[in-house]
């Protein structure tokens, strides 16, 4: 593993298909995507390479956090999602300095046992320094808390509605 990467890996007791749906449907992403008491109040998903991934988070007082559009790079149904904060829709690179650092996120979902999943989330940075800054900002705790919220959401929520790629 590169020291420019940060990785969260865990076996969880829900299926890759439901995790994929929760990762790719705005109405099923917003409830868990941000560590409480922060919340996600807006989400745009155009689930294809070059398509937009946007989330707007707010602090406990409802103040919007800085947000820029990301861009999907790879989408393999129920198995893999790759997107980057370094580019917006249509692969347009973001101007340098428009975020404290850029990273590419790779989410791998592998079937594990009966209905479980090996969940691997990797954050790919430009430099070791950026990875360290991301870790000091709370990557491990934050992404771990978010995975707890994701698993709890998937276990407790019927997700039988039609998948939608539009803003919910």
Q: How far is CA 164 from CA 4, 48, 119, 161, in A?
A: 34, 13, 23, 9
User: In whole angstroms, how close is the CB of 136 to a copy of itself at the nearest point?
Assistant: 18
User: Measured from the CB atom, is 72 or 153 closer to a copy of itself?
Assistant: 72
- Three-class secondary structure of residue 165 per DSSP: coil
User: φ, ψ for residue 18 (rounded to 5)?
Assistant: -70, -35
The alpha-carbon radius of gyration of the chain (Å, integer) is 15
DSSP state of 83: E
6 and 131 Cβ atoms separated by less than 8 Å? yes
The reply to whether 127 sits near a copy of itself by the rule CB under 8 A is: yes
Exactly one of 37, 60, 62, 97 binds a copy of itself (CB under 8 A); that residue is 97
User: In whole angstroms, how close is the CB of 81 to a copy of itself at the nearest point?
Assistant: 12
User: Measured from the CB atom, is 94 or 112 closer to a copy of itself?
Assistant: 94
The reply to whether 96 sits near a copy of itself by the rule CB under 8 A is: yes
Binders of a copy of itself among residues 54 to 93 (CB under 8 A) are 73-74, 82, 84-87, 90-93
82 and 104 Cβ atoms separated by less than 8 Å? yes
User: Measured from the CB atom, is 74 or 148 closer to a copy of itself?
Assistant: 74
Q: How many residues does the chain have?
A: 168
- Which residue matches tokens 């479980």? 116
| Contact residues for a copy of itself, defined by CB under 8 A | 4, 49-50, 73-74, 82, 84-87, 90-97, 102-104, 106, 124-127, 130
């Amino acid at each position: 593993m590169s020291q420019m990467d940060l990785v969260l890996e865990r076996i969880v007791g829900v299926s890759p298909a439901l995790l994929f749906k929760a990762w790719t449907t705005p109405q099923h992403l917003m409830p868990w995507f941000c560590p409480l008491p922060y919340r996600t109040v807006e989400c745009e998903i155009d689930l294809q390479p070059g398509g937009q991934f946007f989330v707007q988070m707010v602090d406990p007082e409802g103040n919007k956090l800085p947000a820029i559009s990301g861009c999907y790079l790879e989408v393999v149904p129920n198995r893999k999602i790759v997107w980057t904060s370094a580019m917006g829709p249509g692969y347009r690179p973001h101007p340098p300095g428009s975020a404290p650092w850029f990273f590419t996120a790779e989410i791998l979902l592998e079937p594990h046992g009966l209905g479980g999943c090996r969940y691997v989330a990797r954050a790919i940075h430009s430099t070791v320094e950026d990875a360290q800054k991301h870790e000091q900002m709370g990557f491990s705790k934050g992404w771990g808390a978010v995975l707890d919220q994701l698993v709890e959401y998937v276990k407790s929520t019927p997700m039988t509605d039609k998948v939608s790629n539009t803003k919910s």
